[in-house]
Chains A and B, each alone.
Chain A
Amino acid sequence: MDVAPKLLDMVWAILIFGAVIVGILGLAALYEKRGGRRAGWWFLGPSLVLLAIGLVYPALRTLWNSFRDAGGGKFIGIDNYTTIFTNSDELVVLRNTVLWTLVTPFVATAIGLLYAILVDRAKGEAVAKAVIFLPMAISLVGASIIWKFMYDFRDPSGGTAKHPIQQIGLINQVIVWLGGKPYNFLLNSPWNTFFLIVVMIWIQAGFAMTILSASIKAIPADIVEAARLDGVGGFEMFRYVTFPSIRPAVVVVLTTIAIACLKVFDIVRTMTGGNFDTDVIANTFYSQTFSANNQGLGAALAVVLFILVIPIIVYNVRQLRASEGR
């Protein structure tokens, strides 16, 4: 398409968009004399319509598809769900997702919290924080490729006296230097899942550190001072002053990372492609839907993922409300 008609289309789109906005605001202003509540609906309306089209409809459609066969045609009841909870490969997928969701948030938050406390008001705090925050700036795929090189494994038994195997992966080279035997990190289940989790922790620890560090700094100085005067030691300070003060922030960090882990896709897809028993729900959902053309099972996996996310969201929202209420 040429540029001119494209430009014209765009101008039209913007004019229509503008007209809609003016219309809404005009109507809202008109109705406002009869009470502010009704005016609110005029603002909410468009969002509700868009939500219905972009979120509610696809969700219902996915639910509908999850009770249908691979092509999306015949109704097959709960067969897809039976497969997810009985097939041995799918059970491994569920196990891995549980591992991701349980291990990553706590470890990443613990590391972030420890780091935030250690560097708090220390010399060179800005630099120290930047170093651990940097991985956040890297995309998950980029991070996965970096770690793929870190974990790279060359089997020494493949070499000959003339051509000994050289390790390319940093970690295995360090192991060799220390006199150990190289290890194939990505192959042996279930440990390979933990090595994938390390990548997520590497990324998320920076996020946890930033949020927690900010909330530590927000603790009123007089509380800390009062505790000091009462003769509180380092650990007690953390136990009775710091932690209770930042509890809402910790909850937010934990749940945010947990949700990110439930949805984890990029790392698994880039590093193992879901092979060697490292598959997780989001990746299986994608490959079942788009590669294997098994849309029923794909939709069922999406629904399971959705159901698993709900409790975490509910908890998150309740915690937020509770902290706002105080």
Chain B
Amino acid sequence: MTRTRLRARQGVALAASAAAIALVFAGCSSDDNGGGGGGTGTSTGGGGGDDCSVYKQYGDLKGKTVTIYAGIITPEDQPYIDSFKPFEQCTGVKVNYTADKNFEQQILVQAKAGNAPDIAIVPQPGLLAQLVGTGKVVKPPQAVSDNVDKFFGADWKKYGTVDGTFYAAPSGASVKSLVWYSPVAFKDAGYEVPKTLDELKTLSDKMVADGNKPWCAGINSGEATGWPLTDWIEDFVLRLDGGDVFDKWVSGDVKFTDPQIVQAFDAVGAYLKNPDYVNAGIGDVKSIATTTFQEAGLGIDPTAGGTCWMHRQASFYAANFPKGTKIAPDGDVYAFYLPGKTESDHPVLGAGEFVTAFSDRPEVQALQTFWSTDTWANLKAKASSSDTGGGWISGNKGLDEANLVNPIDKLSVEILKDPNTVFRFDASDQMPAAVGSGAFWKQGTSWITGQSTQDTVTKIQAAWPKS
């Protein structure tokens, strides 16, 4: 009796487990249908119409795949994808580009967990240093280093170097020391583009005397709220204290509480915390904190009301104006170089991205090498021009200006190439993350909403990692 009962039970148990397996099967197979759709487009291989001779050096890499992960999303991702097409066609490598907005947090998690992509496009030297700290970043082949020596300035190579070892070649670049304005409106009002910081101040005062509010600003950017303000401060540190103090400030040798930095805060405060100057077309001083950086400067455009006269923001801001806006030296909207102390001073604050590899497979190194050439830079510039109407430049000296259609891009390249230019990479991007993407943003935002300069610099300095 007991035996048979036991048998019966065993049967039930087995049936149950079979049912469980069937369920799992059903769940997985439907899942796979959803995910499988993305992986259908395999490389067609073979040479297209383009000349493949430049790609010979990379060898035959047919059937290999390189994954790229970045924070550059639609629509700016398309030119990247397009710029690799000739490389894919000639070498047979398939390049898989994925991007999301959380890149800066995710890439660290991925690197630590050991499932990093082959290549990441890292927008900050500080983050690059953190990634190198995880021990997962792979040094590029000698060819990349040689290309960077050939096509980039020594300062750019330095930003891709951690503790004396070169890790990542620069890719794109942007110029941050720009002030957006309307040439048409300036002409009508009889205003001149200022050539020194004093002239900028005089111009602002003149606008106030004419009954205008000169400046508009917005530093809201979700969890990254505050970063546009750090750019202001950095531009003024660079102008008032010079490149050496700037470098020491980045490395932590000059503290935030140092009078030279406090002076830069106060100089920015004379603009952004001055109720006569801001916030044109938007509100009072505090409205800077709640206005998104994308919206802040739109009032420059006379066709959108022309409520604002000047807006300090990087070259990439061009993309925020509606399609059809005439961005040109004589158009509705353009930008002038945020002047230095004197006319001969030419400090420029900028930023860029770095191609960081987590694998040394031959196809990854081939793509890395290709990426560091002038061929790629020009392909990318062409792709950006046709896909997004420009908005992309590089510090690559081989970049042909004829491939840039956007006047702002041309202006940026001119500024970068100017022999008097003292270029410095965005300070907050280089500082330790606790400050550069933490306290500097956050306390800067509090500073705009009323916190005193002294409290602000003390709190930022307190966040600087000890040791």
Contact = CB atoms under 8 A, between A and B. Distances in A.
Interface string A9-33: 0100010011001100110110011
Interface string A245-273: 00000000000000000000000011001
B281 A163 contact: yes
Contacts of B459: 89
Given A7-B32, A291-B223, A187 B290 contact: yes
Contacts of A158: 279-284, 287, 307
Interface string B200-231: 00000000000000000000111111100000
Interface residues of B, number: 57
Nearest to B7: A29
B113 to A, nearest CB: 13
A153 B286 CA distance: 12
Contacts of A213: none
A305 B16 CA distance: 40
B270 interface: no
Given A6-B36, A290-B105, A294-B434, A186 B290 contact: yes
A22 B14 contact: yes
B189 interface: no
A154 interface: yes
A293 B130 contact: yes
B396 interface: no
B133 A71 contact: yes
A3 B6 CA distance: 43
Nearest to A151: B290
B24 interface: yes
A290 B282 contact: no
Interface string B432-445: 11100111001001
Given A160-B307, A187-B289, A276-B289, A70 B465 contact: yes
A287 B442 CA distance: 11
Contact of A157 (B28, B104, B284, B463): B284
Contact of A291 (B2, B305, B438): B438
B319 interface: no
Interface string A268-290: 01100111100000000001101
Interface in A148-187: 153-160, 163, 165, 184, 186-187
Contacts of A74: 467
Interface in B1-51: 2, 6, 9-10, 13-14, 16-18, 20-21, 24-25, 28, 32, 36, 39, 42
B445 A69 contact: no
B284 A155 contact: yes
B108 interface: yes
A109 to B, nearest CB: 31
B28 A18 contact: no
B109 interface: yes
B342 to A, nearest CB: 34
B406 interface: no
Contacts of B305: 163
A292 interface: yes
Interface in A89-126: 89
B108 A33 contact: no
Contacts of A7: 32
B325 interface: no
A17 B438 contact: no
Contacts of B282: 154-155, 158
A34 B465 CA distance: 61
A37 B186 CA distance: 87
Contact of A2 (B39, B104, B465): B39
Given A32-B9, A69-B467, A293-B433, A274 B223 contact: yes
Contacts of A273: 220-225
Given A6-B32, A287-B223, A294 B438 contact: yes
Given A6-B36, A275-B442, A14 B290 contact: no
Contacts of B108: 290, 293
A287 B9 contact: no
A87 to B, nearest CB: 8
Contacts of A1: 39
A21 B28 contact: no
Nearest to B278: A158
B145 interface: no
Contacts of B2: 33
Nearest to A23: B17
Contacts of B260: none
Interface string B218-247: 001111111000000000000000000000
Nearest to A288: B438
Contacts of A2: 39, 42
A70 B434 contact: yes
A260 to B, nearest CB: 21
Contacts of A186: 290
B422 to A, nearest CB: 29
Contacts of A157: 283-284
B303 to A, nearest CB: 12
A146 to B, nearest CB: 16
B366 to A, nearest CB: 20
A221 to B, nearest CB: 40
Interface string A22-66: 100110110011000000000000000000000000000000000
Nearest to A154: B283
Contacts of B21: 14, 17-18, 21
Contacts of B307: 158-160, 163
Contact of B286 (A21, A89, A187): A187
B387 to A, nearest CB: 28
A291 B133 CA distance: 15
A153 to B, nearest CB: 7
Contact of A275 (B42, B432, B445): B445
A82 to B, nearest CB: 13
Contacts of B32: 3, 6-7, 10
Contact of B433 (A10, A153, A154, A291): A291
Contacts of A32: 6, 9
B39 A155 contact: no
Contacts of B466: 69
A159 B280 CA distance: 8
A185 B105 CA distance: 29
A184 B6 contact: no
A274 B441 CA distance: 11
Contacts of B449: 187, 276
Given A3-B36, A17-B24, A158-B284, 17 more contacts: A2-B42, A6-B32, A25-B16, A29-B13, A70-B434, A71-B133, A155-B283, A163-B305, A184-B286, A186-B290, A187-B286, A187-B290, A269-B222, A273-B223, A291-B104, A292-B438, A292-B463
The 4 A-B residue pairs with the shortest CB-CB distance, nearest first, are A155-B283, A292-B438, A290-B105, A293-B433
18 contacts: A17-B24, A18-B21, A21-B20, A21-B21, A28-B13, A29-B6, A32-B9, A33-B6, A70-B465, A157-B284, A158-B282, A159-B307, A187-B286, A273-B222, A287-B438, A291-B104, A293-B434, A294-B465
